[in-house]
Protein backbone atom coordinates (compact mmCIF):
# COMPACT_ATOMS: atom_id res chain seq x y z
CA UNK A 1 0.00 0.00 0.00
CA UNK A 2 1.32 3.42 -0.94
CA UNK A 3 1.30 5.66 2.11
CA UNK A 4 -0.14 9.16 1.80
CA UNK A 5 -1.62 11.75 4.11
CA UNK A 6 -5.08 10.37 3.35
CA UNK A 7 -4.41 6.81 4.47
CA UNK A 8 -1.70 7.34 7.09
CA UNK A 9 -4.24 6.90 9.90
CA UNK A 10 -5.41 3.62 8.39
CA UNK A 11 -1.83 2.37 8.07
CA UNK A 12 -0.67 3.26 11.58
CA UNK A 13 -3.88 2.25 13.39
CA UNK A 14 -2.77 3.49 16.80
CA UNK A 15 -5.32 4.48 19.41
CA UNK A 16 -3.86 6.54 22.23
CA UNK A 17 -5.57 6.58 25.60
CA UNK A 18 -6.25 10.24 26.56
CA UNK A 19 -4.83 9.40 30.00
CA UNK A 20 -1.48 8.37 28.51
CA UNK A 21 1.67 10.36 29.22
CA UNK A 22 2.28 10.69 25.47
CA UNK A 23 0.40 12.08 22.48
CA UNK A 24 0.20 11.57 18.72
CA UNK A 25 2.89 14.22 18.38
CA UNK A 26 5.22 12.23 20.66
CA UNK A 27 4.71 9.16 18.45
CA UNK A 28 5.63 11.05 15.29
CA UNK A 29 8.53 12.77 17.06
CA UNK A 30 9.90 9.37 18.12
CA UNK A 31 9.56 7.94 14.61
CA UNK A 32 11.35 10.93 13.10
CA UNK A 33 14.08 10.74 15.74
CA UNK A 34 15.06 7.17 14.85
CA UNK A 35 14.59 7.80 11.13
CA UNK A 36 18.04 9.41 11.10
CA UNK A 37 19.70 6.55 12.96
CA UNK A 38 18.71 3.80 15.43
CA UNK A 39 18.65 4.84 19.08
CA UNK A 40 18.33 3.03 22.36
CA UNK A 41 15.62 3.60 24.93
CA UNK A 42 17.88 5.63 27.22
CA UNK A 43 18.83 8.04 24.43
CA UNK A 44 15.20 8.40 23.37
CA UNK A 45 14.11 9.05 26.95
CA UNK A 46 16.57 11.93 27.19
CA UNK A 47 15.92 13.35 23.73
CA UNK A 48 12.13 13.24 23.99
CA UNK A 49 12.12 14.36 27.63
CA UNK A 50 9.82 11.51 28.66
CA UNK A 51 9.93 8.90 31.40
CA UNK A 52 11.64 5.66 30.40
CA UNK A 53 8.45 3.73 31.16
CA UNK A 54 6.55 5.96 28.72
CA UNK A 55 9.12 5.44 25.97
CA UNK A 56 9.04 1.69 26.63
CA UNK A 57 5.25 1.68 26.23
CA UNK A 58 5.47 3.70 23.00
CA UNK A 59 8.08 1.36 21.53
CA UNK A 60 6.07 -1.70 22.51
CA UNK A 61 3.09 -0.27 20.62
CA UNK A 62 5.17 0.74 17.59
CA UNK A 63 6.85 -2.68 17.47
CA UNK A 64 3.46 -4.39 17.57
CA UNK A 65 2.32 -2.26 14.60
CA UNK A 66 5.47 -3.18 12.64
CA UNK A 67 6.65 0.43 12.57
CA UNK A 68 9.83 -0.04 14.62
CA UNK A 69 12.08 -2.97 15.43
CA UNK A 70 14.90 -3.65 17.91
CA UNK A 71 18.41 -3.93 16.47
CA UNK A 72 21.89 -4.23 17.96
CA UNK A 73 22.25 -0.45 17.56
CA UNK A 74 18.91 0.37 19.18
CA UNK A 75 15.38 0.87 17.91
CA UNK A 76 15.11 1.33 14.14
CA UNK A 77 12.31 1.92 11.66
CA UNK A 78 10.83 -0.86 9.58
CA UNK A 79 10.09 -0.34 5.89
CA UNK A 80 6.55 0.74 6.80
CA UNK A 81 7.86 3.09 9.47
CA UNK A 82 10.29 4.68 7.00
CA UNK A 83 7.53 5.16 4.43
CA UNK A 84 5.38 6.94 7.01
CA UNK A 85 8.19 9.27 8.09
CA UNK A 86 9.12 9.98 4.46
CA UNK A 87 5.51 10.99 3.81
CA UNK A 88 5.52 13.36 6.79
CA UNK A 89 8.89 14.78 5.76
CA UNK A 90 7.57 15.87 2.37
CA UNK A 91 5.41 18.38 4.25
CA UNK A 92 7.31 19.21 7.45
CA UNK A 93 11.03 19.82 7.82
CA UNK A 94 13.10 18.52 10.69
CA UNK A 95 13.46 21.03 13.54
CA UNK A 96 16.23 23.61 13.19
CA UNK A 97 17.59 25.60 16.10
CA UNK A 98 18.07 29.29 15.35
CA UNK A 99 20.25 31.79 17.18
CA UNK A 100 17.66 34.59 17.28
CA UNK A 101 17.29 35.14 21.02
CA UNK A 102 17.83 38.88 20.60
CA UNK A 103 14.77 38.94 18.33
CA UNK A 104 12.39 36.67 20.26
CA UNK A 105 13.80 37.45 23.73
CA UNK A 106 13.80 33.72 24.42
CA UNK A 107 16.17 30.76 24.21
CA UNK A 108 15.64 27.45 22.38
CA UNK A 109 14.19 28.93 19.19
CA UNK A 110 13.14 25.94 17.10
CA UNK A 111 11.94 26.37 13.52
CA UNK A 112 9.91 24.14 11.21
CA UNK A 113 9.22 24.72 7.53
CA UNK A 114 5.74 23.67 6.44
CA UNK A 115 5.33 22.87 2.75
CA UNK A 116 1.91 22.83 1.10
CA UNK A 117 -0.04 23.59 4.30
CA UNK A 118 -3.74 22.76 4.26
CA UNK A 119 -4.48 25.53 6.73
CA UNK A 120 -3.37 29.13 6.62
CA UNK A 121 -2.28 31.32 9.51
CA UNK A 122 -4.06 34.65 9.76
CA UNK A 123 -2.82 36.38 12.91
CA UNK A 124 -0.79 33.62 14.56
CA UNK A 125 -2.66 34.09 17.84
CA UNK A 126 -4.43 30.73 17.66
CA UNK A 127 -1.18 28.91 16.91
CA UNK A 128 0.67 30.81 19.64
CA UNK A 129 -1.99 29.95 22.21
CA UNK A 130 -1.88 26.29 21.18
CA UNK A 131 1.91 26.26 21.55
CA UNK A 132 1.65 27.85 25.01
CA UNK A 133 -0.84 25.18 26.10
CA UNK A 134 1.79 22.62 25.12
CA UNK A 135 4.36 24.27 27.37
CA UNK A 136 6.06 26.70 24.99
CA UNK A 137 6.67 30.32 25.93
CA UNK A 138 5.41 31.52 22.56
CA UNK A 139 5.47 31.23 18.78
CA UNK A 140 6.07 33.41 15.77
CA UNK A 141 5.01 32.57 12.22
CA UNK A 142 6.40 33.71 8.90
CA UNK A 143 5.54 33.14 5.28
CA UNK A 144 7.66 33.35 2.16
CA UNK A 145 5.95 35.35 -0.57
CA UNK A 146 8.08 37.75 -2.57
CA UNK A 147 10.09 38.11 0.62
CA UNK A 148 10.05 36.59 4.10
CA UNK A 149 7.29 38.23 6.15
CA UNK A 150 6.11 37.95 9.72
CA UNK A 151 2.46 36.93 10.07
CA UNK A 152 0.13 38.91 12.31
CA UNK A 153 1.94 42.23 12.51
CA UNK A 154 -0.82 44.14 10.72
CA UNK A 155 0.33 47.38 9.15
CA UNK A 156 3.45 47.39 11.30
CA UNK A 157 6.36 46.26 9.16
CA UNK A 158 8.82 44.18 11.17
CA UNK A 159 11.83 42.83 9.34
CA UNK A 160 12.74 39.31 10.50
CA UNK A 161 16.42 38.54 11.13
CA UNK A 162 18.33 37.61 7.96
CA UNK A 163 19.61 34.45 9.65
CA UNK A 164 16.14 32.89 9.37
CA UNK A 165 16.10 33.07 5.58
CA UNK A 166 19.80 32.27 5.26
CA UNK A 167 19.55 29.18 7.48
CA UNK A 168 16.19 27.77 6.40
CA UNK A 169 16.12 28.85 2.74
CA UNK A 170 12.31 28.70 2.51
CA UNK A 171 10.60 28.47 -0.87
CA UNK A 172 7.65 30.53 -2.03
CA UNK A 173 4.43 29.92 -0.06
CA UNK A 174 6.23 27.96 2.65
CA UNK A 175 5.19 28.74 6.21
CA UNK A 176 7.78 28.90 8.97
CA UNK A 177 6.84 28.51 12.61
CA UNK A 178 9.32 29.22 15.37
CA UNK A 179 8.56 28.11 18.91
CA UNK A 180 10.55 28.91 22.03
CA UNK A 181 10.50 27.45 25.53
CA UNK A 182 12.75 26.96 28.57
CA UNK A 183 13.52 23.44 27.30
CA UNK A 184 14.54 22.59 23.75
CA UNK A 185 12.44 19.41 23.79
CA UNK A 186 9.34 21.45 24.66
CA UNK A 187 9.99 23.86 21.78
CA UNK A 188 10.39 20.94 19.37
CA UNK A 189 7.24 19.17 20.53
CA UNK A 190 5.05 22.28 20.48
CA UNK A 191 6.31 23.30 17.05
CA UNK A 192 5.77 19.85 15.60
CA UNK A 193 2.22 19.73 16.99
CA UNK A 194 1.38 23.04 15.30
CA UNK A 195 3.04 21.93 12.05
CA UNK A 196 1.08 18.66 12.01
CA UNK A 197 -2.15 20.58 12.52
CA UNK A 198 -1.35 22.94 9.63
CA UNK A 199 -0.91 20.02 7.22
CA UNK A 200 -3.80 18.11 8.86
CA UNK A 201 -1.91 14.98 9.82
CA UNK A 202 -3.83 12.72 12.18
CA UNK A 203 -3.00 9.27 13.51
User: What pLDDT shows up at residue 1?
Assistant: 45
According to CATH, what is the number of the domain 8-89? 1.10.10.10
Q: Give residue 6's pLDDT.
A: 57
CA–centroid distance for 73 within its chain: 24
What's the pLDDT at 201?
A: 83
Q: Rounded to whole angstroms, what are the CA distances from 126 to 132, 172, 195?
A: 10, 23, 13
Q: What does the alpha-carbon distance between residue 130 and residue 106 come to, in Å, rounded to a whole number?
A: 18
- pLDDT (0 to 100) of residue 156: 77
Q: For the domain made up of 96-198, give the CATH fold.
A: Gyrase A; domain 2 (3.30.1360)
In this prediction, residue 15 carries a pLDDT of 77
**Residues of the chain under the 50 pLDDT cut:** 1
Residue spans per domain, the chain: 8-89, 96-198
H, E, C per residue of the chain: CCCCCCCHHHHHCCCCCCCCCCCHHHHHHHHHHHHHCCECHHHHHHHHCCCHHHHHHHHHHHHHCCCEEEECCEEEECHHHHHHHHHHHCCECCCEEECCHHHHCCCCEEEEEECCCCCCCCCCHHHHHHHHHCCCCEEEEEEECCCEEECCCCCCCCCCCHHHHHHHCCCCCCEEEEEECCCHHHHHHHHHHHHHHHCCCCC
User: What does each C-alpha distance from 191 to 3, 26, 29, 33, 95 come to in angstroms?
Assistant: 24, 12, 11, 15, 8
CA–CA gap between residue 79 and residue 93 (Å, rounded): 20
Q: What is the pLDDT of residues 115-155, one digit of tens each?
A: 989 899 999 999 999 999 999 999 999 999 888 999 988 77
Amino acid sequence: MKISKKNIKEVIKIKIDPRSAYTETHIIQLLRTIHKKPKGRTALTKELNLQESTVRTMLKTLNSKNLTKPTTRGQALTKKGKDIVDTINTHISYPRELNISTFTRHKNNIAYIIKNPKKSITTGIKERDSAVRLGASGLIALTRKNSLELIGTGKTKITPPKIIKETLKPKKNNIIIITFAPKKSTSELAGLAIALDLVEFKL
